[in-house]
Amino acid sequence: MSEARAQIIQSIRRALKRDALNAEAERALADRLAEPKRNLIPARAARLDHRAQIDLFVRMSEEVQTTVARVSSAGAVPGAIADYLSQRNLPSRLVMTPDPQLDDVPWAERPMLEIRRGRAEDADQVGITACFAGIAETGTLMLTSGPESPTRNNFLPDTHIVVMRGEQVVASYEDGWTRLRQRRRAEGQSPMPRTVNFITGPSRTGDIEQRIELGAHGPRRLHIVLIDDAASA
């Protein structure tokens, strides 16, 4: 294998008509990787104040068939979810990630929501997760994997409910990356989690006669409960 590696690198250098880059050139490229610079960021979300970014996030989410419920406090979340489920005649047995971001929601106030905290299984039809950020530019959720946020919880249940706060909304993907790098450095973690999911609407396919159908393999429904309190402004 290392022979193949050497040959491939050789082949590249021969084609580019040079040897390996000299130390200075290498350092310049290494610096580019160590201190990533942003390219052009569209003005769409970036030029807005945070309030307006939240509104944009909601609008763009709804455009891709994500439903959004805005509540004014964590206390209102269980009721909002119970309403959502009963309106659609969906089961009230739920799997919820062990994510600490979900801990201060008073779930016990709605005992009809039978919540199991843990990893999603095949039989789970409704799942609740938190998220890392919401990207206003395109109504995209950014979710990171971890011991308390298994990736499969975003994909196995038929209905995916995300509980998030307004202050998690950022303008661009680049803002999301900056936040992630800062958070992981601050917490002494490796630079990246195993998986970062950018989710924009429910699962879909156009593979049959170009007609968009929801619920191909991932969730058929994506619902956001957005805690839009004073801290969000």
Partner 1 sequence: MQPTSHAFKANAEGALGNAHLQQALKLMRAGFPGRRAAAIARLPEFDDLRDEAKAIKDHVLANLDFYLEAFEKNVIAQGGQVHWCRTPQEACETVLAICRRLDAKTVTKGKTMIAEEIALNDYLEANGVTPIETDLGEYIIQIRKEYPSHIIAPAIHLVKEQVADSFRATHRELDPKRRLDEAPTLVAEARGVLRQKFLSADVGVTGANFCVAETGSTIIVTNEGNGDLTQTLTKAHIVLASLEKLVPTLEDASTILRVLARSATGQEFSAYTTVSTGPRRAEDSDGPGEFHVVFLDNGRSAMLGTEFQDMLRCIRCGACMNHCPVYASVGGHAYGWVYPGPMGAVLTPSLVGVDEAGHLPNASTFCGRCESVCPMRIPLPKMMRHWREREFEKKLSPATYRAGLGVWAFLAKNPPLYRLAANAAARVLATFGGARGRFRSLPLAAGWTQGRDMPAPQGRTFMSLWAARRKETGAS
Residue 20 interacts with partner 1 (CB under 8 A): yes or no: yes
Residue 170 interacts with partner 1 (CB under 8 A): yes or no: no
Nearer to partner 1, 78 or 139 (CB): 139
Residues 172-201 that bind partner 1 (CB under 8 A): 172-174, 177, 190-201
Residue 231 interacts with partner 1 (CB under 8 A): yes or no: no
Block residue for tokens 């789970």: 124
Nearer to partner 1, 21 or 52 (CB): 21
Residue 48 interacts with partner 1 (CB under 8 A): yes or no: no
Residues 206-225 that bind partner 1 (CB under 8 A): 206-211, 213, 215-219
Residue 22 DSSP one-character state: P
Rg of the chain taking only CA atoms, in angstroms:
21
Residue 53 interacts with partner 1 (CB under 8 A): yes or no: no
Closest distance of CB 138 from partner 1, Å: 4
Residue 74 interacts with partner 1 (CB under 8 A): yes or no: no
Q: Mark the segment that binds partner 1 (CB under 8 A) among 71-79, 82-90, 133-141, 163-171.
A: 133-141
Residue 16 interacts with partner 1 (CB under 8 A): yes or no: yes
Residues 75-104 that bind partner 1 (CB under 8 A): none
| Nearby residues of 117 by Cβ (< 8 Å), 6 or more positions away | 95, 96, 97, 98
Distance CA 177, CA 169 (A): 13
Residue 117 interacts with partner 1 (CB under 8 A): yes or no: no
With CB under 8 A as the contact rule, the residue among 54, 56, 60, 76 that binds partner 1 is 60
Closest distance of CB 106 from partner 1, Å: 25
| Nearby residues of 31 by Cβ (< 8 Å), 6 or more positions away | none
Concatenating the DSSP letter of every residue in 138-164 gives TTEEEEE-BTTB-GGGGTSSSEEEEEE
Q: Mark the segment that binds partner 1 (CB under 8 A) among 78-86, 125-133, 142-150, 161-169.
A: 142-150
Q: How many CB atoms lie within 10 A of CB 111?
A: 10
Distance CA 228, CA 168 (A): 10
CA 29 to chain centre: 30
What is the length of the chain?
233
